[in-house]
Amino acid sequence: MSDQVSELTTGPSEKEGPAGPRLRLMAVHAHPDDESSKGAATMARYVADGVEVLVVTCTGGERGSILNPAMDRPEVKENIGKVRNEEMARAREILGVEQRWLGFVDSGFPEGDPLPPLPEGCFALEPLETAAEPLVRAVREFRPHVILTYDENGGYPHPDHVKTHEVSVEAFEAAGDPDRYPGVGGQPWQPLKLYYHMTFNTGRIQALDEAMTAAGLESPYADWRKRAEERPEQWEVTTRISCGEHFETRDKALLAHATQIDPDGFWFAVPLDVQREAWPTEDYHLARSLVDTELPEDDLFAGIREKVSV
């Protein structure tokens, strides 16, 4: 683990709202840039609504490929960890969130047949309790009511995304138990809801593909749609968060990750007005809930708002 452990960086949001205690949302991600490609508009919406939002980034993205040709330069490759840290700082400011590094080392995405072994000391190879401990600490310190993370397949099978799912579930279940992780310190805190990102669900892919075709534009989702229709989704979309007015903020945060995001690439192929008309929400699966809520939801804090007193 690096010296980024337990570093808390505060964005422009305040700690207390004028009407009393604030709702708190934690989004746990594998690498810098994941927070901007999954759930960024949701976070921007809740920040605008006065919710306190913390992004937890498990690794520094040190083994990430440079996906923007304009940034594929020797000096960037030699300092990729530092560059990605700086990109994260810019994205955090744009989204208006707090951000915390857990300090683990990027595992990289293994490719080939057979797959090569993961590098020694990487996040994906850490024992579960070792990997979850700093997240349990973060939960007890920040006291989120809601946690966002990936499903058991990681959203896609990157080993760090799968590990992020595992540590998120572990922290959700353990942070409120005083007998677990006693060395972490702090008062136990039990989050009330755990969600999985459903960013590229079948309904969204179909709607955007049809909207692009209807507008006479080339759709980047044609092949995606065929694959999605051939493979049933594992998780039901239970919760849709209306956040179309924050798509521009999401895109600005994405562009802040210049090594990872090509401004002429896939992420920006669908015009914002088409997106807002066809699919103005970001979507989630409610995986755990300790409060009563009625599905489908349009609010991550459904069943929680009336209960918040701390």
Residue 7 has pLDDT above 60, yes or no: no
Residue 292 has pLDDT above 80, yes or no: yes
Q: What's the whole-number average pLDDT of the chain?
A: 91
pLDDT at 262: 95
Alpha helix segments (H runs only) across the chain: 34-37, 40-48, 74-78, 80-95, 128-142, 159-174, 202-214, 222-230, 247-256, 272-278
Distance CA 53, CA 212 (A): 33
All residues at 6 or more sequence positions from 224 whose CB lies less than 8 Å from its CB, including other chains:
200, 205, 209
The radius of gyration of the chain's CA atoms, rounded to the nearest angstrom, is 19
All residues at 6 or more sequence positions from 5 whose CB lies less than 8 Å from its CB, including other chains:
101, 102, 103, 134
Q: What is the mean pLDDT of residues 211-215?
A: 96
Sequence ranges of the domains in the chain: 7-198+282-304, 200-234
Residue 4 has pLDDT above 50, yes or no: no
Least confident residue range of 33-37, 76-80, 205-209, 230-234: 230-234
231, exposed or middle or buried, with CB in 10 Å at 0-12, 13-18, 19+?
exposed
**pLDDT band at residue 309 using 50, 70 and 90 as cut-offs:** low
Using a pLDDT cut of 90, give the percent of the chain over it.
Answer: 82
Residue 286 has pLDDT above 70, yes or no: yes
pLDDT in tens, 196-212: 999 999 999 999 999 99
pLDDT at 6: 38
DSSP state of 300: T
pLDDT in tens, 163-174: 999 999 999 999
Residue 3 has pLDDT above 60, yes or no: no
Q: What is the mean pLDDT of residues 113-136?
A: 96
**pLDDT band at residue 46 using 50, 70 and 90 as cut-offs:** very high
pLDDT at 20: 53
280: which 2 tokens?
């103005």
**pLDDT band at residue 60 using 50, 70 and 90 as cut-offs:** very high
Global pTM reads 0.92
Q: Give the position of tokens 């009511």.
A: 145
136: which 2 tokens?
């349990």
**pLDDT band at residue 234 using 50, 70 and 90 as cut-offs:** confident
**pLDDT band at residue 19 using 50, 70 and 90 as cut-offs:** very low
Give domain 7-198+282-304's CATH superfamily: LmbE-like (3.40.50.10320)
Q: What are phi and psi of 286, to 5 degrees?
A: -80, 105
Least confident residue range of 19-28, 35-44, 117-126, 261-270: 19-28
